[in-house]
Structure formats: structure tokens, C-alpha cells
Amino acid sequence: MKNLKSLLTAAILTGAVSMAANAADTEVQQYAHPTLFGSQAHSYATTKANYLVGGEVAETANKVGVVEKSNVFVDSFAKDLLNVLKTNTNDVNWNPKMPVLRSELAVILAETFASDRQTVKKDAFKDITDNYWAKSWIDTAYDTNLMIGYPDGNFRPDQPVTKAEVFATIAQIVDVNIEDITNVEFKDQEIKYIPLWSVNATKEVIGSKLLEQTPDPQKVIDDEYLSKQQVAYLISALRSDLAYTKKLATDANAPDVVKKYAPTVLTMKMNSRVSARHSNVGEKFTAKTTKEVTIAGTTFPEGSTVTGEITEVKRPGVNHPGYIKVKFENIKDGKVVVDFPNTVSEATAETIKNPNILARICGAPFSATGRVAGIIGRSGANALNVSGDRLEELGDDASDLFVETLCLHPGSGVKSAGNGILAVGKGIVDITKTAISGTFGILYEVTDELVYLIYPKASNNSALNPDEELVVIF
């Protein structure tokens, strides 16, 4: 008896642990093809990834499109900055659309240019306590001369930063020739709330073209303050330029930490093909580096192997091109393996290639057969599931009909009979929908494969193909 109790206890505990471990993982199967009725055909969602055959997916916010591949996404540095702010402030009312505060600007600047720097100046400001949420970032921003305090010894962390002050901060970092810029205008409109002392700084920001990267451009023109979101994107665009495109010169008076800023620039060619049409969440892919690169102090030669993983997929449908989201995990040379940072500030596809016609001809029959088989299987399974649900509901209603009538409640019995008829009608409608959706889905998928064979470029912006060169900035 004692052993039986022990076994039952162990079983209950094991079951509870298993349920807790899988609580965030859900799998849903509904209509055979979602593009007809806007339903999910087959979705798989976890805390780390999303996989969807058509329909709508709860997209991860923290992503940015690969240049030249608008439907291939990677984690976004700008949105990662916003996540850092939101997570650390513990403010339930935190809103990225609200004006950026001095403490938040310190976090953005420190994370961008000095995230791995150890601060040496402590207790620099009277109004920054040891347990203040942004103290370490404020110390770093002050220690690296990215920001300064006020003459009275305070930092004023909760004070909103004006648009002019943000522009002055950026002008301190870049050197832009403003001789040809006569007006303080953005998108042919005068930028408001620019005092005389910040006119030249504003012209430098206008000339840098960084404002083109900010959301809500009209608010950049009209509002006195930039939002947290706008500043995150503005600084992220600056970071990308200093790291890779280098169109902007660094100001002679810029902080040393900016002058010495050297992010990781990874150049590689894809070995594997990933696409919104065929790839699944959790699949790994590889690439080979085309240039020597140093990651976390370790130098990897040309030809080192980069491993990545697909974290989100949305299949192409009638009204949408689909997309994939990827992450780059590590780089390997022999037995030496180093993990990459979590987010990137920019990724660019340098060359656009398509799989050759022979590869497409050989591959298409398998993917087409698999898709058609999947649609047929889901259609049949869904029809059986609907039939079972409606029969169960009909049986319950029939039972209620007799019980309620024989208990001298004929009105309730009639209502139960009506519910039974309605259940049968709903079943017929749902099965009809499944049949129509399945038929439509088969026609759509076969047509999609033919289009891919004849004109692969149509789906190229949601795919990465072998030998395409990618440049990724960490």
C-alpha cells in the first residue's frame, strides 16, 4: 500500500511537472487551408517560437527586416533597447510612445556604445541612489562622456529630454557639413520647438539622414519631445552607420568610446536554403564566413561555420507573402565555438540569387505532394472532429429534450430540440467549410508550386538561398 501511494504521488508530481513544462506550447489544427476563411490550418506556438501554416500569427515585436529581403527578419537592436527599458523600469504604465527620459537616454546610449564597459566613477550624482533602476547605465554614460549632469550635482533622471537636446547629443557624435542646409526642415516641413542654440545641431541631424529611420515622422516635426521609440530607432540607425555603411564622419570632439566603437560585422554565404514556403520552426541552417571575423576576443578565419535557427514562420497565402524570422546562434572553427549576441542592428543580403531550374524541378514535386497530403489529412481529421463534436452535442440536446419534457417543462424541451437542430446545422456548415477550404487549398498550393517553378523571384524576398551573401552587424 505504501509503495502504491509512493507510485501515485510520483505519477502526480511527474504529470504536474510535465504540464507546467508544456503549458506555453500549444498546437492547433482547424481548417485545411486558412486563406479562404481566415482560420489557422495548423499552428505551433512556444515561448520561443511561432510556426503557422497561413492565417494570422502573433508576431514577435523584436524584429527587423533584412535589407533586400523584406520578409526575412532578425532580432532588432532598436526594439531590444525598448525591451531593456520596459523590463527594467518595472512601470506597468510604461509606454514607448511617451517622451524619452534622461535615465532612458542614458540606458540607450550606454547599451549602444559601451555595453561591456566597467564603470569607475561611483556616486556621481546626488539624486541617483544605489538602488535606482538605471544607476549602472547612468554611471556608464557619465564615465564615457556620453552624458553629463547638471551643475548642482544632480542628474535629473526622470526629466523628459527635449527634441533639441537629443539632436545636440547626436551632433556631438557625428560631423556633418551643414553649409548647404539653409532651413531646419524635415520632409519639407519646418521642425518645431528648435531653439536658436540647437539650430546647427538640428541641421547636422537633418543632414545625417538618420531621421528617415524614425517612426512617426510627423511627430518628429510637430512635438517638442521625441518618444522612447523614436530615440531607440534614431540611435540604432546611428550605430548601424558607424558600424558598417560609414557614411557619417565621427566628430573630432566625440567621446572616445564612440571613436573606438567597433561592432562585429559578420559576412557569410548561405549553405542552406530557408524560406517561408518550406521551412519550419526549429530547423537549423548553416553558412560559411567569407571574411575573417573576431567574436568575443576569438578570431575566426574565412570559411568558419555559422549556425542559425528558424524561430518564426508564416506561410505565404493569397493576400500575404509570408515571412520567416531567423536568429544566428554561433560560429565554429574546428572545436572552437563562440555564441553570438542576442540581437543585431542590421542585416543585409548583398546578392540576390534563386535556386536554379533543375533544383526547382527536382524539389517541387516533393513539397507539392507533402502540402496536398497535409491538406487532405487535415480536411479529413477536421471533418471527423466536427462530426464528433456535433453528435455529442446532439445527444446531449436529445437527452435534455426527454428529461425536460417528462419533468413537465415542455418549453425547455422544445428549446433543447431547437439546439439539437442548430447543432446539426452548424456541423453541416463547418464540414462544408472544411471541404471548400481543402479544395481551395489544394488548388492554391499546386498553383503556388507552378509559380515558384516558373518565376521563383516572386517569393525571393521571403527566402535565403544557397550562396547568397549576408552581412550581419552585431
pLDDT at 171: 94
Alpha helices in 135-180 (DSSP H): 135-143, 163-171
* pLDDT confidence tier of residue 154, bands split at 50, 70 and 90: very high
Contacts of 285 (CB under 8 A, 6+ apart): 270, 271, 272, 273, 274, 307, 308, 309, 310, 326, 464
CA distances for 442 relative to 41, 201, 314, angstroms: 13, 59, 18
CATH code where residue 321 lies: 2.40.128.260
pLDDT at 159: 95
Q: Cell 535557427 appears where?
A: 309
In a shared domain, residues 276 and 423: no
Least Cα distance to 253 among 176, 147, 168, 174 occurs for 174
**pTM of the complete model:** 0.60
Least Cα distance to 57 among 68, 69, 73 occurs for 73
In a shared domain, residues 288 and 386: no
Region of poorest pLDDT, from 50-54, 237-241, 321-325 = 50-54
In a shared domain, residues 278 and 333: yes
pLDDT at 192: 96
* pLDDT confidence tier of residue 132, bands split at 50, 70 and 90: very high
Structural domain contains residue 381: yes
Q: Express each pLDDT in 392-445 by its tens digit.
A: 888 888 888 888 888 888 888 788 888 888 888 888 988 888 788 778 778 877
In a shared domain, residues 387 and 429: yes
In a shared domain, residues 157 and 301: no
In a shared domain, residues 197 and 345: no
Q: Cell 550581419 appears where?
A: 472
Structural domain contains residue 34: no
Region of poorest pLDDT, from 155-164, 310-319, 339-348 = 339-348
Q: Bigger pLDDT: 449 or 346? A: 449
User: Could you tell me the residue range of the domain that residue 334 belongs to?
Assistant: 265-353+463-473
Tell me the C-alpha distance between 226 and 217, whole Å.
10
Residue 76 and residue 237 in contact, taking contact as beta carbons nearer than 8 Å: no
In a shared domain, residues 398 and 278: no
In a shared domain, residues 314 and 373: no
Tell me the C-alpha distance between 134 and 138, whole Å.
6
Structural domain contains residue 390: yes
In a shared domain, residues 133 and 235: yes
* pLDDT confidence tier of residue 342, bands split at 50, 70 and 90: low
In a shared domain, residues 89 and 189: yes
Residue 36 and residue 440 in contact, taking contact as beta carbons nearer than 8 Å: yes
Tell me the C-alpha distance between 401 and 441, whole Å.
40
